[in-house]
């Protein structure tokens, strides 16, 4: 019973409490009326009818035994009248209480739903906010009661969070943009120095190492800039096909080291073509980069139930299920989380941000034998 009550909604609980209180109050009222009527009937004589009236008219001429018989009949009839009256009141009152109680419970259900409607709006807004839609607001109207105050407080909190996240995104974007220039200057100076005649072998090796480090920093800055852009609402929305985007991503990523299997069914959706292309590119690039020798990559697009899906599966190292949520955090990797030369650890973070900005989701599961299956679900156009 406790388990059932635990899964009841607040609306159901309020209805049950309201119905129980109504039936309890009705039962108390019925018992009180029963007691008052019973007390009243003890002091009220019943109206005389039929043979009782005739007996009273002739009682003066009747013998004592006849008088006693009519007296007993009168008292019996009076008691039967009282009992029948109380029983009728109790029975009919109980039926009326049941009928009115059912109607009261139904009205209580409707009233509870109407009273909790602002809470439902808050819940829906909170769900959308959980998907990074911090621009959402509840905007409750009506009387300034406790629910209105709660809704306004929630809106004020969302406003502050929205400004904080916008400031953070602007900072990351501006910082990334400003850091690209000195890195480009460093790369140019190193290349010019290495191009001079008479550079010794040690100096050339040092320069190549510096170029590699500079290139890694450039990839990191580019990834941060892309991540900051991907978290914003798409400004350029067009009708695109995930199949075409996935095909273009396969052409961009070098897949000569692995075997590629693709099933690209039409999957029309709407969104920013550049960001969706980056999403597909990151998925395919990660599938190829974190693979094994002689492994394979499977890319599939399909649609159904009002959504389109891009699924990328690859072979590779075994991925524990508890590690999967961390893979979508920035700068997170499996074994070489820091200092990896294969990437900045922003690939799946960008994928998740782009999917959320387009109203979609990303779901990853370990693949049997090693590797990962990542599925992106977006609304169909």
CATH 1.10.287.130 corresponds to the domain 146-230: yes
Q: What percent of the chain has pLDDT over 70?
A: 79
Tokens of 59: 């009682």
pLDDT tens digits for 342-371?
555 677 888 888 888 888 889 999 988 888
Q: What percent of the chain has pLDDT over 90?
A: 13
Nearest-angstrom CA–CA distance, 21 and 15: 10
End-to-end CA distance of the chain: 46
- Would you kindly state where each structural domain of the chain is located, as residue ranges? 2-115, 146-230, 238-379
| pLDDT of 340 over the 50 cut | no
pLDDT of residue 300: 94
Grade residue 265 by pLDDT with cuts at 50, 70 and 90: very high
Q: What is the mean pLDDT of residues 284-304?
A: 89
Cα distances from 100 to residues 23, 86, 108, 168, in angstroms, run 9, 21, 12, 59
Higher pLDDT, residue 335 or 277? 277
| pLDDT of 150 over the 70 cut | yes
pLDDT of residue 313: 93
Nearest-angstrom CA–CA distance, 375 and 132: 19
| pLDDT of 57 over the 60 cut | no
- Thinking of the domain 238-379, which architecture would CATH place it in? 2-Layer Sandwich (3.30)
Grade residue 229 by pLDDT with cuts at 50, 70 and 90: low
Higher pLDDT, residue 107 or 334? 107
Please spell the DSSP secondary structure of 137-197, one letter per residue.
-----SS-SHHHHHHHHHHHHHHHHHHHHHHHHHHHHHHHHHHHHHHHHHHHHHHHHHHST
| 3-class DSSP string for 90-133 | HHHHHHHHHHHHHHHHHHHHHHHHHHCHHHHHHHHHHHHHHCCC
Report CA torsion sign: 198, 202, 206, 211. Answer: positive
Tokens of 347: 């690939």
Common-topology check for domains 146-230 and 238-379: no
| pLDDT of 341 over the 50 cut | no
Cα distances from 174 to residues 139, 166, 185, 278, in angstroms, run 32, 12, 18, 20
pLDDT of residue 374: 93
Q: Please state which of the ranges 125-134, 159-168, 298-307, 332-341 shows the lowest mean pLDDT.
A: 332-341
pLDDT of residue 338: 37
pLDDT tens digits for 14-43?
888 888 888 898 889 888 888 888 888 777
User: Which among 117, 105, 183 is positioned nearest to 147, based on CA atoms?
Assistant: 117
Q: Please state which of the ranges 23-27, 130-134, 243-247 shows the lowest mean pLDDT.
A: 130-134
pTM for the whole thing? 0.54
Look at the block and give the residue holding tokens 């009841």.
Answer: 8
Nearest-angstrom CA–CA distance, 260 and 181: 37
C-alpha radius of gyration, the chain, whole number: 40
| pLDDT of 336 over the 50 cut | no
Grade residue 373 by pLDDT with cuts at 50, 70 and 90: very high
| pLDDT of 268 over the 80 cut | yes
Nearest-angstrom CA–CA distance, 238 and 311: 22
Supply the mean pLDDT for the chain.
79
Q: What is the mean pLDDT of residues 169-174?
A: 71
Report CA torsion sign: 319, 363, 355, 312. Answer: positive
């Amino acid at each position: 019973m406790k388990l059932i009550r635990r899964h009841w909604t607040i609306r159901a609980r309020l209805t049950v409490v309201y119905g129980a209180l109504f039936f309890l109050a009705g039962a108390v009222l019925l018992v009180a009326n029963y007691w008052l009527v019973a007390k009243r009937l003890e002091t009220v004589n019943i109206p005389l009818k039929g043979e009782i009236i005739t007996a009273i008219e002739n009682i003066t001429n009747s013998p004592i035994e006849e008088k006693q018989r009519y007296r007993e009949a009168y008292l019996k009839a009076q008691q039967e009248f009282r009992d029948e009256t109380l029983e009728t009141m109790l029975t009919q009152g109980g039926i009326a209480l049941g009928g009115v109680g059912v109607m009261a419970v139904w009205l209580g259900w409707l009233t509870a739903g109407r009273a909790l409607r602002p809470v439902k709006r808050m819940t829906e807004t909170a769900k959308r906010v959980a998907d990074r839609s911090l621009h959402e607001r509840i905007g409750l109207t009506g009387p300034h009661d406790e629910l209105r105050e709660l809704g306004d407080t929630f809106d004020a909190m969302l406003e502050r969070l929205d400004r904080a996240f916008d400031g953070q995104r602007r900072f990351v974007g501006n910082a990334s943009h400003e850091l690209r220039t000195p890195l480009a200057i460093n790369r140019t100076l190193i290349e010019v120095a290495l191009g001079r005649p008479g550079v010794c072998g040690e100096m050339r090796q040092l320069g190549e190492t510096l170029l590699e480090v500079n290139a890694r920093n450039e990839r990191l800055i580019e990834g941060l800039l892309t991540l900051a852009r991907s978290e914003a609402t798409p400004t350029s929305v067009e009708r695109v096909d995930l199949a075409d985007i996935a095909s273009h991503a396969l052409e961009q990523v070098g897949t000569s080291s692995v075997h590629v299997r693709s099933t690209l069914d039409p999957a029309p959706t709407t969104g920013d073509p550049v960001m969706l292309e980056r999403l597909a590119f990151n998925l395919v690039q990660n599938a190829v980069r974190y693979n094994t020798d002689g492994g394979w990559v499977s890319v599939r697009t399909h649609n159904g139930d009002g959504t389109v899906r891009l699924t990328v599966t690859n072979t590779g190292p075994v991925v524990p299920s508890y590690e999967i949520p961390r893979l979508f955090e920035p700068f997170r990797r499996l074994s070489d989380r820091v200092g990896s030369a294969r990437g900045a650890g922003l690939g799946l973070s960008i994928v998740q941000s782009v999917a959320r900005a387009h109203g979609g989701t990303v779901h990853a599961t370990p693949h049997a034998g090693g590797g990962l299956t990542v599925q992106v679900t977006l609304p169909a156009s």
